[in-house]
Structure 1
Amino acid sequence: MESKKDFKKGVQVEENLGDLSLINRSKLHVTGVLEVISFTEDEIDLITKGGNLTIEGKNLKMNKLDVVNGEVNITGTLNSFVYSENRKVKKKDSILSRLFR
């Protein structure tokens, strides 16, 4: 967790980068979501305050997406979730743009 110093009070305050709450390996609540990159029934890719988050499983569904508060609820059989460093996902170039480089 990153921390910031509150200079007015002289107190160390930790920045909330987001939370994961897993219930019975079938319901996942994620906070701190900035953007949904992609989703299928087997994989969901998110950009969160804490880094890129890849969720893998079976029959995955996003039941709630609250972009204002940065919250996502996911149901299905959850097998794994992995954080990686923040990086922009490069959009695939079209065939024409690759031909004319």
Structure 2
Amino acid sequence: MAEEKRKNGRHTLQMEERERVRIGGVTEVMSFDEEGIMMETACGLLMLKGTGLHIGKLDLDSGDVTVDGTIDSITYADGGFGEKHSLLGKLFR
């Protein structure tokens, strides 16, 4: 079913001055804190890293997420369910 969402979903990402990111096509927010947010999107895993990050808007029914804070990096990764947890450990080191 996750593969169906990935194939049929539309993913968008819009950043404003490294201080706000609007993301569409989010299916799940897996973890978050002030230094990183990991989410599953229609195009794979998305990891945001930065400082002072917080989720300003979260609507998983529409797949829309807004993140405020200082964005330092945006990283995508593909992988199956078993790989998500090891990837999570690597990204939050």
Answer whether TM exceeds 0.5 for this pair: yes
Q: What SS is found at the alignment partner of 2:52?
A: strand
Q: Among residues 42, 47, 59, which one is paired with 1:66 in the alignment?
A: 59
Q: Among residues 18, 28, 33, which one is paired with 1:25 in the alignment?
A: 18
Q: Deviation at 1:16?
A: 5.3
The one-letter amino acid of 2:77's match is S
Distance 1:33 1:87 in 2: 16
Identity %: 32
Matched pairs, number: 77
What is aligned with 1:51?
A: 44
Larger helix share, 1 or 2: 2
Extract unaligned runs of 5+ from structure 2: 1-7, 86-93
Q: Which of structures 1 and 2 has the larger relative contact order (alpha carbons within 8 angstroms, sep 6+)?
A: 2
Runs of 4 or more, structure 1, over 4 Å off, are: none
Extract unaligned runs of 5+ from structure 1: 1-14, 91-101
Contact 1:52 1:87 in 2 (8 A): no
- The structure with the largest alpha-carbon Rg is 1
Contact 1:21 1:29 in 2 (8 A): yes
The one-letter amino acid of 1:26's match is E
What is aligned with 1:38?
A: 31
What is aligned with 1:75?
A: 68
Q: Deviations over 1:30-59 (max 9, x none)?
A: 000000000010000000010000000000
Distance 1:79 1:16 in 2: 26
